[in-house]
Every structure is written in structure tokens, then in C-alpha cells.
Amino acid sequence: MTGLSETERVGCRRLLGTMSNGDLSLLCDTVTNKMITVENPTEATEAILAYTKDAEELLKRKKVHRNLIFMYLAQEGIVMPPNSEKHVLVKRTLDHWSSGKVLVANETRLLAAEMNIKPDQMEANASFNPLVLGQQFCQWFFQLLNSQNLSRGQQPQDWGPQHFWPDAKLRLISSTDSHQTEEFEGAELVSLRLLALAKDERLIFSPNLEPHGLRVTSSAHGLVLVAVAGTIHRDASCLGIYEQAFGLIRSPQDSNSWKIKFVNLRIRGRDILMGAEELSPSLTLDSNELQLLCR
């Protein structure tokens, strides 16, 4: 019998999902002492979970590299110092799992996987809650975008212009070594530029879905604005923070499906940040600015 709690199983499953197929297979051999034959990554993951005595034992395995745990925590919205040693990251992960918050954060993702639908199509309740939609959208969008980063050894998910309205717009402001503003119009161009951030520039976006990192508002005309702050990583390095605002409108063909009307993305490099701001990215957009974007 496995000694993992349900929360730990959810967390371990997501962590293992970021491993390369080769490392996952080797880890499976180690955990099961090569007594179990598996044919695919899903079977390997389930075998590892079944034969793991406790979460700490799994996290301390050699194939569960320090950088893997670091990036997992970043995806969960937990920013650690880039030079954190593995035992520190292991303890922080165990603390996170023991808090039970991982189940709340992954509830939408797991339900979507079981139902084989996208989180942006899950809002089907009679009482529409913009905040719930915003949380579901961010979980879906950043998981989808981050999967395009091939350095993570994952299979890219279904990215493309189909998630945007034909006249979608993107405004990208970068404040790093220099200040640069880029603007794109059309679903294809917007999709390709965002794709390049993950695929070509190898960036990982870690959204902060806590109250100070996420705001959602809606207009009387059906536009829902989702604004989120987070950290940007490449491999094990934290490069800076970002603020991103999305305009979402329902698809007339399917009232439970939402497409992106516009994206405003502001990136600030680590060199221009204060220490506390880097560790806990918060939205600077106030309610008035959000309402202006809704017009």
C-alpha cells in the first residue's frame, strides 16, 4: 500500500509530469526494483506512486533533480531563492503538500483531464463567477504556454491561433537592459509571438494566483478581464516578474468556450526589481485601470 496522502499523490503526479520520459523510466526502475514492466509515461507514473513509501523518499531520489523541484514550486506560485539547496526545496515542497493547497490549485486541472475538456470551457454554472473563470483560465493558459518550452522534456500541448479571436491584439512591454514595446494584431501573429517566448526564448511563466496576484472584472458588454502577476524563469534562474492582462469573450458557437480578445504583457527584468517585489509579485494595475481596459 502506498503511504502517500491524496494531496501528496496530486503533487507528485504533477511533479513527475515535468520529467523527461527517460528519467521517468529510470526512476520507475529504481522505485520498483525493475519488478514492474511499464509501456508509457502514464504507467510509469502510476507505478512510482504505488511503490513509493512516502513523499520525502521520492523527492530525495537522485533522478528527482534539484532543478525539477525548483521549477515545480515556481509553477505552484512558490518562488524560492535560485541558489536554494535541494534539501531546502524538498522541505518547502512537503510543507506545501501538507497545507492541502495543492488540491485546491489542481482541482480544476484534474477535473478537466478526467472530462477531456479544456479549463476555459468549464464554466457552465447558472451563477457565473468571474473570479473562478479567471483562476481556471490562468491555470489552463500558463500550463499550455509552458508546455511549448521543449527544454522541459514534455510533449507540447495544443497551442495555436484557435484560442484567439481573429482580430486579437498583443502589446508586449519589456523593461530589462532596455525598454522595448512590441504590438501585434491578428490571431496568427499574436499566437506566434507568445509561442516564441516559451519555445524560442525558453521562458517559464509562474502565475501568482493568490489574491494580491490575480484580479478579475467584467463589463456589461460580456468582456471579462483577467489580470495576473507572476515570475519568469529560464531553467533554474528567475529572470524577473510580469504582469499580464487578458480580455476574454465567449464564443457564440459555444457559450462555455472563451477566446482571447487581447493580451497586454509587461515584463520587468530582475536587475530593476527590489528584493521583496521579486519574491512576491503583485499586480500594480488598480481597479480604474482595469475598467479602462474593459472599454
> Could you report the per-residue pLDDT of 13-43, keeping only the tens digit for each?
888 988 888 889 999 999 998 888 888 888 8
**Comparison of pLDDT for 150 and 221, the residue scoring more:** 150
CATH for 191: 3.10.450.50
Cα separation, 191 vs 155, whole angstroms: 18
Domain assignment of residue 112, yes or no? no
Residue 111 CA: distances (Å) to CA of 105, 107, 116, 154: 11, 6, 8, 21
Check residue 235 and give left, alpha or beta (phi > 0: left; psi -120 to 50: alpha).
Answer: left
Lowest mean pLDDT among 48-62, 202-216, 252-266: 252-266
Domain assignment of residue 158, yes or no? yes
How many other CB atoms sit within 10 Å of the CB of residue 179? 8
Range of the domain at 289: 119-294
Domain assignment of residue 92, yes or no? yes
pLDDT at 200 over 50: yes
Residues 200-224, mean pLDDT to the nearest whole number: 85
Domain assignment of residue 176, yes or no? yes
Q: Which three cell numbers stand for residue 271?
A: 536587475
Judge if 72 and 138 occupy the same domain: no
Mean of the per-residue pLDDT values for the chain? 80
The closest alpha carbon to 237, from 283, 266, 271, 209, belongs to: 271
**E runs forming strands in the chain:** 164-175, 179-185, 204-208, 214-218, 224-234, 237-251, 254-269
Model pTM? 0.57
Q: Which of 41-45, 146-150, 152-156, 272-276 has the highest mean pLDDT?
A: 146-150
Judge if 72 and 161 occupy the same domain: no
Domain boundary among 67, 101, 135: 101
Judge if 155 and 195 occupy the same domain: yes
| Number of domains into which the chain is organized | 2
How many other CB atoms sit within 10 Å of the CB of residue 3? 10
Judge if 156 and 66 occupy the same domain: no
Res. 94 pLDDT band, cuts 50 70 90? very high
Judge if 154 and 288 occupy the same domain: yes
Judge if 56 and 146 occupy the same domain: no
